[in-house]
């Protein structure tokens, strides 16, 4: 089963519904629905990246470049958060 396609379809539907709500005057409900979708989508992104990590670990051994990329990413994201 193609979960990615199902998830994309689900998010498209929910965001379309939120848009419909905002057009018909339910702005607060639309905002709430979009906020829930944002949260879920963000978790989906986390999950997809960790799936990539699982694939990497199943395929080969870790290298210094893998670690360097993670540490650089943490420093960059921390900079954005503190900035």
Partner 1 sequence: MQSIPWYQSAILRQQVVQILLAGFGLFHVAVGIDLDAWVAAVFTAAGGGVAIWTIITRLVKPAPNLTAKAEAKEQQLVAAGKLKGFARPSMLLILAIIGLVGVMLSGCTGTGAAYKAAEAAREQSGSLEATAYVVTRHYRNLLREAADLKEAGSLAPSIVLQLQAAERATTPLFIGDVEHGVPSLRDLAKTYDDALAAFNAARTAETAKAIADANRELQAALSKATIQLAGFLRALEAARGNSTSSSRPAGPLVLVASEVRA
Structure token pair of residue 60: 């080969």
Distance CA 37, CA 21 (A): 14
Query: Which of 30, 10, 12 is closest to 20 using CA atoms?
Result: 30
CB nearer to partner 1: give 13 or 28. Answer: 13
CA atoms in the 13 A half-sphere facing the CB of 61: 2
How many chain residues bind partner 1 (CB under 8 A)?
43
Which residues in 9-68 contact partner 1 (CB under 8 A)? Answer: 10-11, 13-14, 17, 20, 33, 35-37, 39-40, 42-54, 57-58, 62, 66-67
- Which residues contact partner 1 (rule: CB under 8 A)? 3, 6-7, 10-11, 13-14, 17, 20, 33, 35-37, 39-40, 42-54, 57-58, 62, 66-67, 70-71, 73-75, 77-78, 80-82
């Amino acid at each position: 089963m193609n979960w990615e396609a199902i998830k994309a379809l689900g998010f498209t539907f929910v965001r379309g519904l939120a848009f419909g709500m905002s057009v018909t005057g339910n702005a607060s409900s639309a905002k709430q629905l979009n906020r829930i979708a944002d949260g879920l989508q963000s978790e989906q992104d986390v999950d997809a990246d960790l799936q990539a990590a699982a694939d990497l670990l199943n395929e080969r051994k870790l290298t210094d470049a893998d670690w360097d990329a993670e540490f650089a990413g943490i420093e960059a994201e921390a900079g954005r958060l503190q900035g």
